[in-house]
């Protein structure tokens, strides 16, 4: 059973045949629709697409990075994850072009010793800690908001206490353990006061979890687990060919990890999607993917889970897939 991929394929088909052409910040152009939802029952398998091979290790590495509260690509680069390389390099190039024209003397101070290619830039990130500290930093994006949301000027008995950092993930786990029926089980990455400091504002900007008591049959299959947990994420901008498969799998993994941390069963995964688009230079790839046969979903087993440290192991089982389909990134 692979209903999640059926929904994904339906989205691709709609974008190819019944969508609106729009311009975008990258200059590529998109085919777009607005307001869609996808749903998946985790008991049906782990939602990795089968009509093209997915980079599971890359996706899991990025999720660990988020959970650690990290915002510097050094961790990703050291672990072979290239997802954010282009964003960091673009930031470097934008600053280099300005400073090389207006203030040559500042280049050395900023460790901008030469006009680097992206490959050279990533090599410097790997081998030069000071360069990585400056140019690997992406600003207060996902991990920062999840683990240390900045709340300023907190008043305590009429006095300003200064900056307070809120660990939303730790608070979520605590609340799930003490008040699992709460309707406030939410995490947000959309910090309006810090958007201008982010290399890229969050595309998937928040999620909510929901728990229920398990059924008698569920208790038999999962002894000792008395609650099931679902996760719904919200996404303003959806790169359907490259990004959405990654987002689906990442939030499925997060749901499984939270469930493991609090002793519950992963239940439903739901995605609320805003601007759902297909970049115009992905049309041929999307048609190729739609021509392929779907396979049954694999399973993924998690172990050694320490959610608050961003550490876990995983094993993918019975993953049958078609070859990957290359497509250009639009940064």
Strands 164-166 and 149-151: antiparallel
Residue 303: is it exposed, middle or buried by C-beta count within 10 angstroms (0-12/13-18/19+)?
Answer: exposed
Contacts of 140 (CB under 8 A, 6+ apart): 71, 150, 191, 194, 197, 198
Active-site entry in 16, 55, 203, 294: 203
Residue keyed to tokens 């201008």: 196
What CA–CA distance (Å, rounded) separates 43 from 268?
9
What CA–CA distance (Å, rounded) separates 121 from 35?
38
User: Is 203 marked active-site?
Assistant: yes
Cβ–Cβ under 8 Å, residues 88 and 138: yes
Cβ–Cβ under 8 Å, residues 19 and 34: no
Residues carrying an active site annotation: 203
């Amino acid at each position: 059973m692979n209903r999640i991929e059926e929904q994904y394929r339906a989205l691709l088909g709609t974008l190819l045949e019944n969508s609106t052409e729009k311009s975008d910040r990258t200059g590529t152009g998109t085919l777009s629709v607005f307001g869609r939802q996808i749903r998946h029952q985790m008991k049906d398998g782990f939602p990795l697409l089968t009509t093209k091979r997915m980079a599971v290790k890359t996706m899991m590495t990025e999720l660990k990075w988020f959970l650690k509260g990290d915002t510097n690509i050094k961790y990703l680069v050291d672990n072979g994850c290239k997802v954010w390389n282009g964003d960091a390099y673009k930031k470097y190039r934008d600053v280099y072009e300005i400073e090389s024209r207006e203030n040559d003397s500042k280049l050395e101070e900023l460790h901008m010793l030469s006009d680097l290619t992206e490959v050279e830039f990533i090599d410097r990130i790997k081998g030069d800690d000071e360069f990585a500290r400056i140019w690997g930093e992406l600003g207060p994006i996902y991990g920062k908001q999840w683990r240390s949301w900045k709340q300023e000027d907190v008043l305590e008995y009429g006095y300003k206490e200064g900056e307070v950092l809120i660990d939303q993930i730790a608070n979520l786990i605590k609340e799930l353990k003490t008040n699992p029926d709460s309707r406030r089980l939410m995490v947000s990455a959309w910090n309006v006061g810090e958007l201008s400091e982010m290399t890229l504002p969050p595309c998937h900007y928040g999620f909510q979890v929901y728990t229920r008591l398990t059924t008698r049959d569920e208790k038999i299959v999962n002894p000792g687990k008395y609650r099931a947990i679902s996760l719904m994420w919200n996404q303003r901008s959806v790169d359907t060919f490259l990004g959405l498969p990654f987002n689906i799998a990442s939030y499925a993994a997060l749901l499984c990890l939270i469930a493991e941390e609090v002793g519950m069963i992963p239940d439903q995964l739901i995605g609320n999607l805003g601007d759902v688009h297909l970049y115009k230079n992905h049309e041929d790839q999307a048609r190729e993917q739609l021509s392929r046969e779907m396979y049954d979903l694999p399973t993924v087993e998690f172990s050694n889970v320490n959610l608050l440290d961003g550490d876990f192991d995983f094993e993918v089982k019975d993953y049958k897939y078609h070859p990957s389909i290359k497509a250009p990134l639009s940064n």
